[in-house]
Every structure is written in structure tokens, then in C-alpha cells.
Amino acid sequence: MEPKEDFRRVEEMNLTPVTEIDIRGLAEIYDQLDVYLSVYLPTASRDDEAKNRAFVDGRKRAIEAALPSDQKECFRETMAIVDDLLFEKPIPGERGRIVFASAPASLLAIYRIGIEPVRAMVLDTSPFLLPLAKLRDDYSDYGVLLLDSKEARLFCVRSNVPQEMSHLSTDLMNKHKKGGWSQMRFNRLRKGAIKSFLSEVVEDVQDSCSRHQTRGIVIAGPGDAKHQLVEMLPAEMGKRVLAVVDLPIDAPGKDIVEVGDEIAIADERARSEERAEELRAEILKGGLAVRGVEETRDALNSGRVGVLVLLKDASMPGWICERCQALEARRRPPPACPSCGGPTSAVDVVEELYELALRTGAEVEFVEEDSCLASGEGVGALLRY
Ligand SMILES: [Zn+2]
């Protein structure tokens, strides 16, 4: 098939932070037929390629067998677009690849990412976004400020890749030559110089944080300067400090990410638990919350959901009407939609609820485990009203 003129092609030859992928834009796309192919492949280790080939081959055969005969050709055309791209040699630092493609809908988007996704290959009426959404939840960007009393390096860690945003340093000893001064005077001057250096760093961090959306910032370094700096931060910035930790000033990127990730993931877990707790409290007092697939679906449809709360492993078979978007859980798709007669297809209801949340501007929070949520099929929502 000749690509149409409005063929949408995104191919990043650099590592793309998962937070930079236009997931809302992707959530807007859907078709009445199963024309969107989504593929997630790990690419970090040497034997991944052989495993990916075997996996894609198996999925390709299974999908083709399940498709009605008039849609098989379209699927083959889509596969022809992505075939080589899926197995291309990974670029430096690449640990995973995400591909969304459709020949009939003229879409091809390839992202190389610095984190490892779980293998998946799905053909559906819209791009399959849940795996990407979970990665974004775990790997939101955060800052790391690494400093001592004369040097400061500010990093933004995006999908496990540290990017150095700025590097400040000062030469305390040369500015204040010791010659002729008393030890006391020298110490006083040195303290003053450190303080003015740290104020410069505070300004730099503030400036950077106002330009980048991050989960927060980790303050790291070898000595006492980091504590001194934390005390100098304005209250607003202080709230964004995730942790203060010991780290050598010349720590390599790998160590920065290792220390930072542990802190960032712990922060994510704590936030998720808070949301789950909030949901439980609201449900217990009959407040602004719902639980279970049907109630959550209805709340999403009426635009009342502020935060969709999902258990990470929640999944529920069901069907959707491709015309009126009627959504029903726990049933096989009827031959035609009972309300509008439109075509139906089998879906994961949780994926549909997630897409609905994105389209209606709701926040989404993934929770590792929670008994209250689990008893509501892993799905619930905090309501705006
Ligand atoms: Zn319908």
C-alpha cells in the first residue's frame, strides 16, 4: 500500500524519555476495525533479538489466524512496514523499543527507550497504551543535585538516562588567598564564599525546576554542603526534596541513576498508597469515590473522574461498541451493539477505561497492591463532584 500523503511518521533515532511520548495524542486515535499494531520489545541484552523474533513470529501467526479474512491483508501491510524496524540494532543506551503502526491508518511511530518493557504485541482498534502508562508512572523525571562546597552538578534523570543540566564551580582558595590573614579571618571569608556559592546553586536549581516538570529532586554529595543547601532552599522548593543522600562528587551516571531510582520508586509507591488510602476513606464514608468497572465507567463517561485509580495488574475481558463506545465487562462481544447496532470487538476493559480517562483529562494512578481496590476488580476513581 502506498503511504498516504498525511502519513504520520515519528522515528526517534535518540533515546526518548517515556514522559515525552505523546500518550494523550495516541489515546485520541481509534478505528472501527483492528488496524493498530502496538509492539513492546526489550532490546538490552544480546539474546533479546532472537527472543524478539520468535515472539513476534508467534504473535503474528496468532493474530493472523484470529482476523477475519478481509482484514488479513491490511495486517500484512502493517507488518511489512515494521518488520525491519522491530529488529534493527539497538542504539547506545537503548533497552527497549515501542512501536505503534497501522498501514491503513497511515501511522508509524518508533520510540527507543532507556528502560526495559515487558514483551507485548497487540492488534486492536486503538494503540495499546497501558504498558506505556505504567512505565510513565514508574519512571517520571526527577532531578539530582550533586554538590560539595565548591562544585555542583545538576542532573535531570529521564527514563534512567541522566542529562547534565548545569555544572557550577567556584575556586574558594584562589579567591581568598590565605597569605597574611589570621586563621579566623580566613575561615570567616571561606564560610562566606561557600554561602554565596550555595546561593548561586539554589538559584540555578530553582530556575531549572521551573522549566522542567519533575517528580522532585534528590540532593546528594559527600560532605555537609548538601545539608547547608537544603536549609537555604525556599519553602516551596524544600517540599520537592525527595531525599538527601551521601554520594561522591564525581559519581558516574550509573551510580546517580541507581541511587536516584530507588528514591524515586519509593516516592511513587508512597504516592500510590496515599491515593489508594484516599479512595478507601471516601468509599467508607460514601464520599466522592466509586469502585468497580461499571461505576467507574459511568463516572468516566459523565466526566466526573478526577483520578482513575488502577491496580497495576488489573485486567478484565469485555467488549466495546466501535460506534457508540458502549463498554461492557465480563461478556463476549455480541454480534452487534444492542444499543446502536454498531460493530463490536473484544477488549481489555481496563485499557479502555484508561484511554477514556486520558480523553476526559483525568489523572491516572497505578497502585501496586491494595485490598479495597482488589475487591473492586482493581478499578476505582476519585470523583470531582
Ligand atoms: Zn453501539
Q: How far is the CA of 93 from the centre of ligand 1 (A)?
A: 45
Residue 225 lies in a domain: yes
What letter would DSSP give residue 234? -
Cβ atoms of 229 and 198 closer than 8 Å:
yes
- Residue 337 CA, ligand 1 centroid: distance in Å: 5
Could you tell me if 81 and 147 lie in one domain? no
Q: How far is the CA of 327 from the centre of ligand 1 (A)?
A: 9
Q: What is the mean pLDDT of residues 167-181?
A: 68
- For the cut 80, the answer to whether the pLDDT of residue 154 exceeds it is yes
262 part of a folded domain: no
Same domain, 23 and 38: yes
For the chain, where are the alpha helices, taking DSSP H only? 23-27, 48-66, 69-87, 130-138, 172-175, 183-211, 225-232, 235-238, 253-284, 293-301, 349-359, 371-374
Q: Does any domain span residue 263? A: no
Among 138, 161, 186, which residue terminates a domain? Answer: 138
Looking at the structure, tell me whether residues 226 and 292 fall in a common domain: no
CATH at 378: 3.30.1330.30
Query: Do 112 and 178 share a structural domain?
Result: no
DSSP state of 332: P
| Listed residue (65, 99, 64) closest to 84, CA to CA | 99
Same-domain status, 280 and 378:
yes
- Give residue 109's domain range: 1-138
With cut-offs at 50, 70 and 90, classify the pLDDT of residue 101.
very high
d(CA 155, CA 157): 6
Q: Mark whether 62 and 97 lie in a shared domain.
A: yes
Decide if 258 is inside a domain.
no
Question: Does 166 reside within a domain?
Answer: yes
In the listed set 200, 220, 251, which residue is the last one of a domain according to the structure? 251
Pairing of strands 96-102, 107-113: antiparallel
148 and 134 housed in the same domain:
no
The CATH number of the domain where 81 resides is what? 3.30.960.10
CB of 11 closer than 8 Å to CB of 110:
yes
> pLDDT digits over 251-282, tens only?
999 999 999 999 999 999 999 999 999 999 99
Q: How far apart are CA 1 and CA 103, in angstroms?
A: 7
* Confidence check: pLDDT of 86 > 70: yes
Task: Give the tens place of pLDDT for each residue, 286-323.
Answer: 999 999 999 999 999 999 999 999 999 899 999 999 88
What percentage of the chain exceeds 70 in pLDDT?
Answer: 96
334 within 8 A of 346, measured Cβ to Cβ: no
The arithmetic mean of pLDDT across residues 329-356, rounded, is: 92
Cβ-contact 218, 260 below 8 angstroms: yes
- Centre of ligand 1 to C-alpha 79, Å, is 30
- What confidence category does residue 174 fall into, taking pLDDT thresholds of 50, 70 and 90? low
Q: Residue for cell digits 479495597?
A: 372
Residue 107 in domain: yes
Residue 177 has pLDDT above 80, yes or no: no
Residue 3: the pLDDT is 44
Q: How many residues does the chain have?
A: 385
Q: Are residues 74 and 182 in the same domain?
A: no
Q: What 3-state DSSP class applies to 298?
A: helix
| pLDDT tens digit sequence for 204-243 | 999 988 888 899 999 999 989 999 999 999 998 999 999 9
Report the chain's mean pLDDT, rounded to a whole number: 91
* Assigned domain for 100 exists: yes
Least confident range from 30-34, 37-41, 64-68, 85-89: namely 30-34
The total number of structural domains that make up the chain: 3
Average pLDDT score over residue span 106-127:
94
What is the predicted pLDDT for the residue at 175?
54
Q: Which three cell numbers stand for residue 376?
A: 473492586
Over 80: is that where the pLDDT of 179 sits?
A: no
Domain shared by 147 and 128, yes or no = no
Strand 161-169, strand 151-158: pairing: antiparallel
Position 231: which residue type?
E
pLDDT greater than 70 at residue 4? no
Kindly indicate the confidence band of residue 8, based on its pLDDT and cuts at 50, 70 and 90.
confident
What amino acid occupies position 133? A
Predicted local distance difference test score (pLDDT) of residue 6: 67
What is residue 57's predicted lDDT score, i.e. its pLDDT? 97
Strands lying side by side in the sheet with 36-42: 8-15, 107-113, 96-102, 36-42, 120-124
- What local confidence, expressed as pLDDT, does residue 2 receive? 44
Residue 96 and residue 165 share a domain? no
- Ligand 1 centroid from CA 67, angstroms: 21
- Pick the more confident residue, 122 or 193: 122
Q: Which of 23, 175, 32, 186 is closest to 98 using CA atoms?
A: 23
Last residue in a domain, options 98, 123, 138: 138
Longest Cα–Cα distance of the chain, Å, equals 94
Distance, CA 344 to ligand 1 centroid (Å)? 8
Measured in Å, residue 320 CA sits from the centre of ligand 1 at 8
In sequence order, the β-bridge partners of residue 120 are 40
Q: What is the pLDDT of residue 348?
A: 92
Give the pLDDT of residue 202.
94
d(CA 184, CA 167): 30
Q: How far is the CA of 105 from the centre of ligand 1 (A)?
A: 22
Is the same domain home to 242 and 361? Answer: no
The alpha carbon of 345 and the centre of ligand 1 are apart by a number of angstroms equal to 11
Q: Which cell numbers in the block locate residue 97?
A: 523499543
CA of 32 to the centre of ligand 1 (A): 11
pLDDT value at 178 more than 80: no
In a domain, 345, yes or no: yes
Same domain, 317 and 373: yes
CATH number of the CATH domain containing 234: 3.30.420.60
**Would you place residue 353 in the very low, low, confident or very high pLDDT band (cuts 50, 70, 90)?**
very high
Query: DSSP label at 35?
Result: -
In this predicted structure, what is the pLDDT of residue 1? 41
